[in-house]
Amino acid sequence: MKPNHLRRQLCSATVALFAASALLAGHPAQAADDTLAALQQRGTLRVGIEGTYPPFNYQDENGQFTGFEIDLARAIAEKMGLQAEFQPTKWDGLLGALDTGRIDVIINQVTISDARQHKYDFSQPYTVSGIQAVVRKKDADTFSSPEKLAGKKVGVVLGTNYEEWLRKNVPAADILTYDDDPTRNQDLDVGRLDAILVDRLAALYQLRQTGGRFALSGPAFSRETAGIPTRKSAPELHQAIEKALNELRADGTLKQISEKWFGADVTQ
């Protein structure tokens, strides 16, 4: 074999090897873990939550996760023959954690929107709510309509549907963004903010926890539904979650969990 011919063969083999490596690198590392069988072999459903969002998901006095979505996640996992494993993550990192495969699902009041549905598979809604302005009690009558937020300091958590809605519908508002709910709420309490925008269900719970310092201002500004997003590469997992929710709705468990935390069925 001539040396030049040998070099050409070696070069071709090297190019093929790099091409194969690049092809493999182009596929998400989590692809092999997307199957339902892989989750069942592992025995856990890795659930992304904030862990600081009462009454949906938060830590009790013993440091244990509790809340409406904690109960819901455990019930869903049980229907699937799995254990719920909670992965606390700041809100603006939750979708990224789902994208990279660090978590399997997010159960954290993720609003179902057209933009998100293009990228993720969503379950049926498990709560129906809306965007609510919360203020200090003395300002309860201030924001009877969204337009009245213009020129006011309004706090929202970064990357949430509330931020997106506010920038689109009341661009004249002075929008301040936060990494978490407690810091935002504290700024409202001490007067650094005129209002905050939150989930109406969370607002009703919050009012009971703040000793009357906060109040709702105006009606809910829009209707929102929350669902459970999964990667498009995991259709079996999406179907299994949908099946579990249907069963929990049919046997009354979903309603029971809702009434435990809200005193009403907020899942319809």
Please count the other Cβ atoms lying within 10 Å of the Cβ belonging to residue 217. Answer: 22
Considering the domain boundaries, does residue 18 fall inside one? Answer: no
8 A C-beta contact, residue 174 and residue 152: yes
Band (2; pLDDT cuts 50, 70, 90): very low
Beta bridge partners of 112: none
Question: Are 98 and 44 members of one domain?
Answer: yes
Question: Are 233 and 150 members of one domain?
Answer: no
8 A C-beta contact, residue 95 and residue 187: no
Phi, psi of 256 (to 5 degrees): -60, -45
Beta bridge partners of 24: none
8 A C-beta contact, residue 129 and residue 199: yes
pLDDT of the residue at 89:
96
Considering the domain boundaries, does residue 6 fall inside one? Answer: no
Question: Are 184 and 235 members of one domain?
Answer: no
Question: Are 233 and 114 members of one domain?
Answer: yes
Question: Are 157 and 109 members of one domain?
Answer: no
Q: Which residue blocks in 137-178 are alpha helix, DSSP H? A: 161-169
How does strand 105-106 pair with strand 44-49? parallel
Three-state DSSP at 140 gives coil
Which domain covers residue 57, as residue numbers? 30-126+228-262
Question: Are 94 and 166 members of one domain?
Answer: no
Q: 172-223 pLDDT, tens per residue? A: 999 999 999 999 999 999 999 999 999 998 888 888 788 889 999 999 998 8
Phi, psi of 45 (to 5 degrees): -110, 110
Question: Are 173 and 236 members of one domain?
Answer: no
Considering the domain boundaries, does residue 4 fall inside one? Answer: no
Considering the domain boundaries, does residue 24 fall inside one? Answer: no
Give the residue among 106, 130, 136 at the shortest CA–CA distance from 231.
106
Question: Are 116 and 239 members of one domain?
Answer: yes
The encoded tokens of residue 85 equal 């494993």
Band (233; pLDDT cuts 50, 70, 90): very high
Considering the domain boundaries, does residue 11 fall inside one? Answer: no
Task: CATH number of the domain at 245, please.
Answer: 3.40.190.10
What is the distance between the terminal CA atoms of the chain, rounded to a whole angstrom?
Answer: 76
pLDDT of the residue at 192:
98
Question: Domain tally for the chain?
Answer: 2
Question: Are 118 and 93 members of one domain?
Answer: yes
Question: Are 117 and 240 members of one domain?
Answer: yes
Rounded Cα distance, 58 and 53, in Å: 5
pLDDT of the residue at 207:
84
Q: Which residue blocks in 139-266 are alpha helix, DSSP H? A: 161-169, 181-189, 200-209, 235-250, 253-262
Question: Are 232 and 122 members of one domain?
Answer: yes
Question: Are 184 and 136 members of one domain?
Answer: yes
Reply yes or no on whether the pLDDT at 20 is more than 50.
no
For residue 173, give Cα distances in angstroms to 105, 152, 156, 189: 33, 5, 11, 19
Mean per-residue pLDDT over the chain, rounded: 88
pLDDT of the residue at 33:
58
